Amino acid sequence: MTPPHLRTRFVLIAAQAAYFCLAGWVVLWQSWLSPHPHLNAQIMAGIWVLPLLLPLRGIIAGKPYTFAWANFILMFYFLHALTLLWVDEGERWLAGVELCLVSTAFVGNALYARLRGRELGSRLKRLSQVEKEENERYRG
C-alpha cells in the first residue's frame, strides 16, 4: 500500500498533466487541426484556451481549492465535447479526445482536492455532527 502523500503526489501529477494536455489539445484543435473557416485561427485558439488559464497559477502551485473550482471551468469543455459528439460527424474524433482529456482532468482535480484537503485537515463536518452541535447550542 502506498503512503497517502505519495498517492496524493501521483494524483496531483496526473491532474496537472490532464489539465495541461487539455489546454494544448484545445490550442492544437482550434489553430491547426480544424480551424474556424471564417475567423483567425490564432485568435480563436486564444479565446478557447483563455478560460483554462484562469486557474493556472493555483494548478501549478498545487492548491486544492483551485483544483476544486477549476472543475466548473472544465464543465464548459465537457459540454462542448458532448455537443460535438452528438452534432458534428466531421469533428467527432476531436471531440472524443477532448472528452477523454476533460474527464480525466475532472476526476483528477476532484480526487486531488479531496486527498490534499484531508492531508491539510480542512475536512467538512458531517451533517449529523453539525445538527448535533446546533441542537446543543440551541438547547444549551
Residue 1 has pLDDT above 80, yes or no: no
Domain count, the chain: 1
Whole-number pLDDT of residue 65: 92
Closest Cα partner for 48 from 15, 6, 71, 81?
Answer: 81
Residue 44's domain comprises 4-139
Q: What is the pLDDT of residues 97-117, one digit of tens each?
A: 999 999 999 999 999 999 998
Looking at per-residue pLDDT, the higher value among 124 and 70 belongs to 70
Closest Cα partner for 12 from 69, 60, 80?
Answer: 60
Whole-number pLDDT of residue 125: 63
